[in-house]
Structures are given as C-alpha cells and as structure tokens.
C-alpha cells in the first residue's frame, strides 16, 4: 500500500486500519473519518491505491493489479 502525505500522522492512521482484514472502500472511509474527528479540519480528502493480493496470487493471476478509492 502506498501512502503519500505531507505529515507523519496520516501514515500512522493508515497503518492502524490497514492491519485489519476489510474492503478497501471501508478502509478509505475509516481513515477519512478518523482524520476528520481528531483534527477537525475544514475538509478531508483521502485517496488510497492498493495492490490486491487475491488478483495477483490466485485465480486470475494478473501482476500489477491495483485499485484506487477516494473519499472527499
């Protein structure tokens, strides 16, 4: 999972939620809501690009398959 951030807090928030088994859309929502609740900024935008191991290791076996989700 790639994480690009200007601060150090965002990758830490991402690590907390990314260690759980869940769908990427839920992960994106949880990260956005956590940042909003803790920092209370005027707005939050989260974009996550992740490689899906189920697509690369079994079944379809395509390399480099990733998906991007966002939450404004």
pLDDT digits (tens, 9 = 90+) for 38-68: 889 898 888 888 877 766 666 666 666 777 8
Query: Rounded distance, CA 22 to CA 8, Å?
Result: 23
Give the pLDDT confidence of 27-38 residue by residue, as tens digits. Answer: 889 989 998 998
Domain 9-71 fold is: GTP Cyclohydrolase I, domain 2 (3.30.1130)
DSSP, res 70: E
Instruction: Break the chain into its structural domains and give their ranges.
Output: 9-71
Kind and range of the H or E element at 28? helix 24-39
For the whole model, what pTM was predicted? 0.69
List CB contacts of 35: < 8 A, sequence separation 6 or more: 9, 10, 13, 41, 44, 46
């Amino acid at each position: 999972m790639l994480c690009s951030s200007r601060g150090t807090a965002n990758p830490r928030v991402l690590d907390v939620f990314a260690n759980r088994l869940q769908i990427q859309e839920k992960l994106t929502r949880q990260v956005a809501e956590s940042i909003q609740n803790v920092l209370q900024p005027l707005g939050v935008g989260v974009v996550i690009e992740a490689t899906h191991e189920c697509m690369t290791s079994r079944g379809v076996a395509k390399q480099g398959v990733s998906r991007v989700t966002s939450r404004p």
